[in-house]
Amino acid sequence: MELPEPIRKRLGDLSRTVFVDPTRTQPTHEDNVTFLGHNREVVSSLPLQMSLFFNMCFFPLWWISEVLMLHLKYSALPDYYKFILITVLILMTFIEAIRLYLGYAGNLQEKVPELAGFWLLSLLLQFPLILFQLFNEAILIQPLERGVHIVLALFLLSQALSGFVALRCMVRHTESHFHLRQFDGVQELRA
């Protein structure tokens, strides 16, 4: 399943704006040798992929513990916190499924828009939600909850950092290939 083209285009434009080094306008000699020699350079991030894999294994455990703790403390919570916690649980479950899919697709298939979407979902949605659940004492945080929230927050933080590095590397790689393809077109015209 691919992202719709308008979303892919906007995420690609955003990632090129944010992650491209403005001082680097020409491809390096190493880029020329790699591209003209037809060697395929892999720019996927192993640390990001490992973190995504372990996060995918951990998330069902987080979800089960979150549902159990919500069930145990439900009667002691005020009505507005009951609504907020159920909403947060549903949102985090939905966002996490999309986020992990985009992370896998973006990293393994080296797709910049998907990886940019993964990175934005991590920073703008999941991280604030997990921090809310980790630091809001009014929701009667249980020790098990605190533990699983800390682990999920560490996954999110490591994925945000390694995702940023991977995204920057992929954008540079894509940019250099774009410049080199233009160079190949000029060479073919001369011949």
Mean per-residue pLDDT over the chain, rounded: 85
Under the banding of pLDDT at 50, 70 and 90, the label for residue 179 is low
Residue 20: what pLDDT?
62
Residue 43: what pLDDT?
82
Under the banding of pLDDT at 50, 70 and 90, the label for residue 173 is confident
Q: Please state, for a pLDDT cut of 90, what percent of the chain lies above it.
A: 65
Contact residues for 54 (Cβ-Cβ < 8 A; gap 6+): 155
Residue 32: what pLDDT?
43
Higher pLDDT, 171 or 62: 62
Under 8 Å between Cβ of 171 and 16? yes
Under the banding of pLDDT at 50, 70 and 90, the label for residue 187 is low
Could you tell me which of 138, 153, 39, 177 has the C-alpha nearest to residue 92?
153
Give the count of beta carbons closer than 10 Å to the beta carbon of residue 107. 26
Residue 34: what pLDDT?
46
Residue boundaries of the structural domains of the chain: 47-190
Structure-token pair, residue 2 = 């691919």
Structure-token pair, residue 112 = 């910049």
Under the banding of pLDDT at 50, 70 and 90, the label for residue 2 is confident
96-121, pLDDT tens digit by residue? 999 999 999 999 998 999 999 999 99
Higher pLDDT, 51 or 25: 51
Report the C-alpha gap between 57 and 59 in whole angstroms: 6
30-39, pLDDT tens digit by residue? 544 444 444 5
User: Tokens 């159990």 sit at which residue?
Assistant: 68
